[in-house]
């Protein structure tokens, strides 16, 4: 069975998929840093071809600018984060519900070298335009810039950058994503359904947030995109 047919079947598989068989251990800092050290060098030109052959544009848009609020934009995203994401979908470390079967079944058709190549391609694309909200929600602005020491919450900007542009290693760019997508990820972390964060870092943060704070942060970083 060729790769293209496998990818086509990936879109249909959620209709009959069972519960995830996630046997991969959760990420420790040591395990992730070792994986990062061994990440292959990415060939962006080859990655562009793989992304085309894999129909990535169907959900993530041309050059990684997602046309739908349901899928993330990949353009300008942190290269290490993209590589890690593919590893996590393949191992089902990232498996919140059956919607993620599409990415799991796509990821297992590629190699680690393929992951690195596609990550290099998308990372080289211009980042989505970031438009700062003129009058940002005060609660979200405080959490983003100052955090909340009473709950041991560091500022979002300390990891994700002042404008949400992303940080070092696996810390992703979050600005330019839809508010809907950001909110869903925070909710998945809060509920424990998303479990691919290193040392449970995002789960700890999300568990401290109220539903209102999650909504406010989603709008803050979502640039007004619903």
State residue 179 phi and psi, 5-degree precision: -60, -35
The tokens describing 156, both together, are 């979002």
Same domain, 44 and 111: yes
* C-alpha to C-alpha distance for 143 and 219, rounded to whole angstroms: 13
Mean pLDDT over each residue of the chain, to the nearest integer: 89
pLDDT in tens, 193-203: 999 999 999 99
CA 77 to chain centre: 9
The whole-number pLDDT of residue 167 equals: 86
Range of the domain at 73: 27-123
For residue 140, how many C-alpha atoms fall within 13 Å in the half-sphere facing its CB? 22
Residue 39, marked binder: no
* C-alpha to C-alpha distance for 25 and 8, rounded to whole angstroms: 29
Which regions in the chain score pLDDT beneath 70?
Answer: 1-23, 130-134, 223-226
Residue 160, marked binder: yes
* C-alpha to C-alpha distance for 150 and 143, rounded to whole angstroms: 12
What is the chain's length? Answer: 226
Domains of the chain: total: 2
Host H or E run for residue 125: none
Does residue 21 lie in a domain region? no
Residue 86, marked binder: no
Specify the 3-state DSSP secondary structure of 196: coil
The whole-number pLDDT of residue 9 equals: 46
Does residue 11 lie in a domain region? no
Same domain, 100 and 157: no
The whole-number pLDDT of residue 43 equals: 99
Residue 159, marked binder: yes
Domain boundary among 123, 150, 171: 123
Report the CATH number that the domain containing residue 106 is assigned in CATH.
1.10.760.10
Same domain, 103 and 33: yes
Same domain, 119 and 158: no
pLDDT in tens, 31-66: 999 999 999 999 999 999 999 999 999 999 999 999
* C-alpha to C-alpha distance for 17 and 7, rounded to whole angstroms: 15
Residue 56, marked binder: yes
Does residue 48 lie in a domain region? yes
Same domain, 150 and 212: yes
Residue 103, marked binder: yes
The whole-number pLDDT of residue 12 equals: 46
Residue 60, marked binder: yes
| pTM of this structure | 0.88
Specify the 3-state DSSP secondary structure of 193: coil
The whole-number pLDDT of residue 15 equals: 43
The whole-number pLDDT of residue 6 equals: 46
Residue 1, marked binder: no
* C-alpha to C-alpha distance for 172 and 126, rounded to whole angstroms: 15
DSSP character string of 107-147: HTTS-HHHHHHHHHHHHTSPPPP----SS--HHHHHHHHT-
* C-alpha to C-alpha distance for 123 and 172, rounded to whole angstroms: 11
* C-alpha to C-alpha distance for 89 and 95, rounded to whole angstroms: 7
Q: Which residues, in sequence order, are bridge partners of residue 153?
A: 148
């Amino acid at each position: 069975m060729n790769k293209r047919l496998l990818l086509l079947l990936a879109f249909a598989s959620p209709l009959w998929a069972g519960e995830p068989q996630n046997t991969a251990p959760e990420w420790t800092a040591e395990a992730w840093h070792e994986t990062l050290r061994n990440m292959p060098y990415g060939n962006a030109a080859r990655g562009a071809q793989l992304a085309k052959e894999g129909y990535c544009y169907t959900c993530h848009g041309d050059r990684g600018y997602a046309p739908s609020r349901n899928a993330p934009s990949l353009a300008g995203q942190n290269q290490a984060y993209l590589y890690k994401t593919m590893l996590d979908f393949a191992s089902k470390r990232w498996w919140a519900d059956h919607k993620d079967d599409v990415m799991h079944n796509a990821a297992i058709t590629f190699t680690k070298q393929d992951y690195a190549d596609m990550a290099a391609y998308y990372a080289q694309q211009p980042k989505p335009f970031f438009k700062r909200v003129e009058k940002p929600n005060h609660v979200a602005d405080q959490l983003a810039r100052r955090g909340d020491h009473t709950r041991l919450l560091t500022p979002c900007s300390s990891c994700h950058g002042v404008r949400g542009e992303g940080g070092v290693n696996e810390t992703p760019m979050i600005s330019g994503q839809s508010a809907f997508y950001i909110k869903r990820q925070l909710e998945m972390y809060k509920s424990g359904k998303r479990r691919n964060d290193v040392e449970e870092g995002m789960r700890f943060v999300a568990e401290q947030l109220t539903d209102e704070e999650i909504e406010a942060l989603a709008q803050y970083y979502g640039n007004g995109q619903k």
